[in-house]
């Protein structure tokens, strides 16, 4: 399908984001179950609730543009979730697996940050201020989630993972 306009590109981005967020809604509960660190569990649970709101915002965006809500298959998110699933299947000390889960979750956040940034730029150029505003709220949540994950990694999980891995190799 050929793209004829920036508006069509914005719609395609929204459909991709909607597909990505709905895929993430299914994956996050598994990541919560797989995590052992209480702070990581809490961060992932919080982001699950945020993701539900993000899906609702995307639905509002479709409405503001006078379009039906439609998801496209988001291959990028599929791959990121597949990698997260691989990490969840890993055996090893909980802190090491949790460090890997944080990396997986941050890859998801960075994908979303890039996609929302592009969609906001398109909406602004098209003078779709309400759409841009809704997308900006989600972008801010994604950036905050990334900062929280970084804080968990640097403040607790990575050091604990290092110590856990050291104990195993010394045994």
Of the pLDDT bands very low, low, confident and very high (cuts 50, 70, 90), residue 55 is very high
Residues 6+ apart with CB under 8 A from 46: 145, 148
d(C-alpha 150, C-alpha 54), whole Å? 21
Of the pLDDT bands very low, low, confident and very high (cuts 50, 70, 90), residue 170 is very low
Residue 3: the pLDDT is 86
Instruction: Give the mean pLDDT of 50-71.
Output: 98
Residue 30 corresponds to which tokens in the numbers above? 């598994």
pLDDT surpasses 80 at 169:
no
Question: How confident is the model over 78-94, as pLDDT tens digits?
Answer: 999 999 999 999 888 99
Of the pLDDT bands very low, low, confident and very high (cuts 50, 70, 90), residue 167 is low
pLDDT surpasses 60 at 71:
yes
Of the pLDDT bands very low, low, confident and very high (cuts 50, 70, 90), residue 166 is low
CA 133, 138, 141, 147 torsion: positive or negative?
A: negative
Residue 165: the pLDDT is 63
d(C-alpha 171, C-alpha 169), whole Å? 6
Q: Report all structural domains of the chain as residue ranges with CATH numbers, in order of start.
A: 6-88+102-165 (1.20.1260.10)
């Amino acid at each position: 399908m050929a793209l004829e306009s920036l508006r069509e590109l914005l719609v395609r981005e929204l459909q991709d984001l909607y597909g990505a967020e709905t895929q993430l809604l299914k994956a996050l509960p598994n990541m919560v179950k797989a995590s052992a660190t209480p702070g990581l569990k809490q961060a992932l649970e919080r982001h699950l609730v945020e993701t539900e709101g993000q899906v609702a915002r995307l639905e509002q965006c479709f409405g503001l543009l006078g379009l039906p809500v439609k998801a496209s298959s988001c291959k990028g998110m599929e791959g990121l979730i597949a990698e997260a699933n691989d990490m969840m299947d890993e055996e090893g000390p909980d802190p090491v697996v949790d460090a890997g889960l944080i990396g997986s979750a941050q890859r998801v956040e960075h994908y979303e940050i890039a996609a929302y940034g592009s969609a906001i730029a398109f909406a602004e150029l098209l003078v779709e201020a309400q759409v841009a505003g809704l997308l900006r709220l989600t972008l801010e949540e994604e950036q905050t989630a990334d900062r929280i994950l970084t804080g968990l990694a640097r403040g607790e999980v990575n050091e604990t993972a290092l110590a856990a891995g050291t104990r195993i190799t010394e045994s």
